């Protein structure tokens, strides 16, 4: 008799959790075309804005050590010489 109650309780719990999980879905009719329509993703230290369509998606990343100033001083005086090496190939000629 206990097994029937346990199985019944597990079935009820699984159906309840499945219904609860479906309540938190994000659904959009069209893709975000500009940055202000993008979905922010991140954890406070590393962030991204994702927008565009599935064929051409834009992902803009941001990481806290990129920004100099308080409370951390992340400015590296030697960083300028490495910027051209880290830029994408299509942008390398445009950095001055």
**What tens digit of pLDDT does each residue of 24-70 get?**
778 888 888 888 888 888 887 788 988 888 888 888 888 776 666 66
Q: What is the largest CA-CA distance in the chain?
A: 78
Looking at the predicted structure, is the pLDDT value of residue 21 above 70? no
**pTM for this predicted structure:** 0.44
When the pLDDT of each residue in the chain is averaged and rounded to a whole number, the result is 76
Q: Which residue has the higher pLDDT, 58 or 15?
A: 58
The DSSP code for 32 is -
SS3 of 64, please?
A: helix
Looking at the chain, the number of H-run helices and the number of E-run strands are 2, 3
Model pLDDT, residue 61: 86
Across 28-86, where does the E strand assignment appear? 39-42, 46-53, 56-63
Query: Which band of pLDDT confidence, cut at 50, 70 and 90, is reported for residue 80?
Result: confident
Tell me which of 83 and 46 has the higher pLDDT. Answer: 46
- % the chain with pLDDT above 90: 0
Strand partners, 40: 49
Give the angle 96-52-25 at the CA atoms, nearest 5°: 135
């Amino acid at each position: 008799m206990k097994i029937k109650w346990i199985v019944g309780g597990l079935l009820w719990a699984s159906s309840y959790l499945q219904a609860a999980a479906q309540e938190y879905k994000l659904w959009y009719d069209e893709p975000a075309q500009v940055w202000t329509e993008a979905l922010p993703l991140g954890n406070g230290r590393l962030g991204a804005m994702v927008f565009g369509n599935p064929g051409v998606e834009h992902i803009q990343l941001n990481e806290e050590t990129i920004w100099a100033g308080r409370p951390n001083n992340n400015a590296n005086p030697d960083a300028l010489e490495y910027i051209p090496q880290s830029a994408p190939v299509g942008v390398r000629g445009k950095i001055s």
